[in-house]
Amino acid sequence: MNGSDRVQRDVPPRRVTAGLVWVLAVCGAYVVAYSAALVGLARASADRLPLVRRLLELLRLVS
Amino acid sequence: MVAILSALCLVLLGTALGRRLLRLARFRIESAALRLSFAAGLGLGVVSLAVMAIGLYGRLGSSSVHIGFLVVAALLVPDLIMMTFGAVRSVRSAWPLSFGWFEWFLVTAIALSVLSGLISSIAPPTSWDATVTHLKVPHEYLETGRIVRLDDLHSNGPMNGVMLFIPAMMLGGDTAPAVLHLSLLVLAGVALYGFARQHVGRTGSLLTAAIYFLMPIGAILGSEALVDFHLVFYLLLAVVGLVHGWQEDRTGWSILGAVCLGIALGSKYNALYALLPLCVGLGVRTWQGVGHRQRLLTEGAGVLLLAIVIGCPWYVRNVVLTGNPFYPIFARSIPTRHLSAGLTGESPVWRPPRSYPWDALNVLLYPVNHTLGFSWGVAEGPRPDGAQNSPGPLYLALVPLLLIMRPVPGWALVAVGVAALAFGQTVSTFPMFRHLMPFIVPCAAVSGRAFEWLDGRRWVRITARCTVVIVLLLQMVPFVGRTATRSGVVFGAESRAEYLRRTDDVYPMAEFAATRLGPEAKLFYVGERIYHFRALGLNATMGMPIRQGRVDFPAISSPAQLHDRLRRLGYTHVAVNNEILSRQFPPALDLIGPLVELDKLVEIEQIKELVLYEIAPLD
């Protein structure tokens, strides 16, 4: 038996809002932290990886 | 292409064998995804145990054994044909797919991640673990035709996963193990989807699979010749089997779960963490099951015993070789005869400094760090690899919703309990995420269920789905980056040697040494990534690797003693990574440095960080 029919549909709105706020907070923090970390990693490996170097140069040109 | 075909052959024949065994046991699994993954798990487990037995018997290179394997493969062809027809029938019955935009996005993202992994896995091996042990061990076993004692710390753990690499390397060279590892990642994803589909709707199940397939750590580990996803696969099957066994009261499921747990125990020491959740689960079930306690206890003890029997051969081998079944761990508590170049028996085990009660903060720091990708603990600072070793944010974003969801399903509590108990056992050491990954992966199904709970009202649905899309797109970056850096060598724009010279720290020196040194040379590599030296035909030994240096170097009290030992053991050359040694084990340099000054070690060449020395003869 598949579980979709077991999901309770009459969920209290406050709980749903609280859940959504939590999801947005964690995902938002991740997007900021992970993007910063990826840029840092790209910079660190730019001398080894020509493609990354070109991408960083392109980003510099755009900004 | 040969690597892909050989890994595919192995997986298909393993699955056909598992299917035959399940049919012989008259055990029926309703879910097509679970049927496929359990058949593959069972069949590949049997293959790995068979290779181990043949290796211990010393017949890895025997043509009669190879013919025997071919005969077994030929006998499995009818199962393979039936299996293919079954798969086509399942797809046709599910067609046409009535997916919305979100479901199509998830399916596309999963497909792209697998395609990216496939491209990356065909590139020549450069990862640390693969070149230290997972390729080096099968290479040495194939050279000698048997499972032999290897005198280094990395080559004596449980090795069911590595056993599968032996036929893969024989058929498809040293890139085939990485493709095989990727296949196990995919099979674990199929098992996870099948598990989720039994409890969660289609969208939630697809999200479960997407959370798993798009873990940034999956991009890094999935396409390498490692055994991490081997462990993920078997522990997931064990959890699914035991949950089914306990929920449906079918002994067959419990036996299947125990077999998978046993194969996991024989694959990596981390699987030992699963024994605590198993015992706790057994205790809870026994406490709940009034009137059936004796039967539950008997069945639970049977599960435990069967798992230990299947998993124990490698541990028995360690007892025979060293006296310590968990070698090289627990060397302080268990009397151990160390396998080391010095064979000293001295083992001053290095441990990171601890400062309780502050280390208890790891309980909070660990999930936050690994979710956000900092890899930052109390005992260590920020690490640049933290971003890539992240499981992604959707575990931490969705699993805690269990606290406000009603009703809370029992299987979700089991999945979270398994993760929490494994986490509780390791938190003080702030382990890398990959050490806990096998226990956290089942929580992706909990995330799928929590997402469905959230996915009700229109505005909430749109917000949640858009957030998931943004996050998953960001998680695809490491997949894209890895594919881009490896596509040149995969599609023939760059040769294997050019690629390895550019990306690998050890290969250029190995290539130089292989061309410069004669066949009589015996190289002593003071480092760990020895595979390239051996693959290029050098008689090279990882005699005092950096970690093992903690065992061996304290046994050598002076540079003269080191020189004497090297020469008496027949070594003619030494390759050293001075920079790594100065960072990780300075005492080694205190022994090597004076030998260079006294011209007992004569520098021949420095390439990247490695220096090659010739050892002067004894006076």
Domain spans of chain A, in order of start: 13-62
Residue B213 has pLDDT above 90, yes or no: yes
Q: Could you state, in order of their start, the residue ranges of all structural domains in chain B? A: 1-226+456-491, 227-311, 505-615
Place of tokens 């002067």: B616
- Weakest mean pLDDT among B79-88, B92-101, B377-386, B534-543: B377-386
Contact (CB, 8 A) for B72 and B20: no
- Neighboring chain B residues of A31 at a CB cutoff of 8 Å: 470-471, 474
| A21 interfacial to chain B (CB closer than 8 Å) | no
Q: Cβ A30–B373 below 8 Å, yes or no?
A: yes
> What pLDDT sits at residue B612?
93
Contact (CB, 8 A) for B384 and A40: yes
Q: What is the mean pLDDT of chain B?
A: 85
CA angle B255, B259, B264 (to 5 degrees): 145
| A59 interfacial to chain B (CB closer than 8 Å) | no
pLDDT tens for each residue of B414-457: 899 988 888 888 776 667 778 888 999 999 999 999 999 888 77
| B384 interfacial to chain A (CB closer than 8 Å) | yes
Contacts with A, B 397-436, CB within 8 Å:
397-398, 400-401, 404, 406-407, 409
- The arithmetic mean of pLDDT across residues B12-17, rounded, is 93
Q: Which of B216, B388, B474 has its CB closest to that of A35?
A: B474
Contacts with A, B 481-520, CB within 8 Å:
481, 484-485, 502-503
| A7 interfacial to chain B (CB closer than 8 Å) | yes
What 3-state DSSP class applies to B570? coil
Structure tokens at B331: 């060397």
**If residue B14 lies in a helix (H) or strand (E), which one and from where to where?**
helix B2-24
Contact (CB, 8 A) for B314 and B524: no
Kindly report the pTM of this predicted structure: 0.90
| B125 interfacial to chain A (CB closer than 8 Å) | no
What 3-state DSSP class applies to B77? helix
Q: What is the mean pLDDT of chain A?
A: 73
Residue B359 has pLDDT above 80, yes or no: no
At position B595, the amino acid (one-letter code) is L
ipTM: 0.81
pLDDT tens for each residue of B39-89: 999 999 999 999 999 998 888 888 888 998 899 989 988 888 988 888 888
- Neighboring chain A residues of B484 at a CB cutoff of 8 Å: 51
Q: Cβ B467–A35 below 8 Å, yes or no?
A: no
| A52 interfacial to chain B (CB closer than 8 Å) | yes
- Weakest mean pLDDT among A22-36, B323-337, B510-524: B323-337
Contacts with A, B 164-203, CB within 8 Å:
197-203
Place of tokens 């043949």: B54
| Confidence band, pLDDT 50/70/90 cuts, at residue B349 | very low
In Å, how far is A40's CA from the nearest CA of chain B?
A: 8
- Weakest mean pLDDT among A50-59, B23-32, B234-243: A50-59
CA distance B5 to B131: 22
Give the other-Cβ count within 10 Å of B356's Cβ.
8
Residue B356 or residue B367, greater confidence: B367
Q: Cβ B199–A48 below 8 Å, yes or no?
A: no
Contact (CB, 8 A) for B575 and B605: no
* 3-state SS record for B435-455: HHHHHHCCHHHHHHHHHHHHC
The pLDDT > 90 percentage for chain A reads: 14
CA distance B115 to B109: 10
pLDDT tens for each residue of B470-516: 999 999 988 988 898 888 898 888 899 999 998 888 999 999 999 98
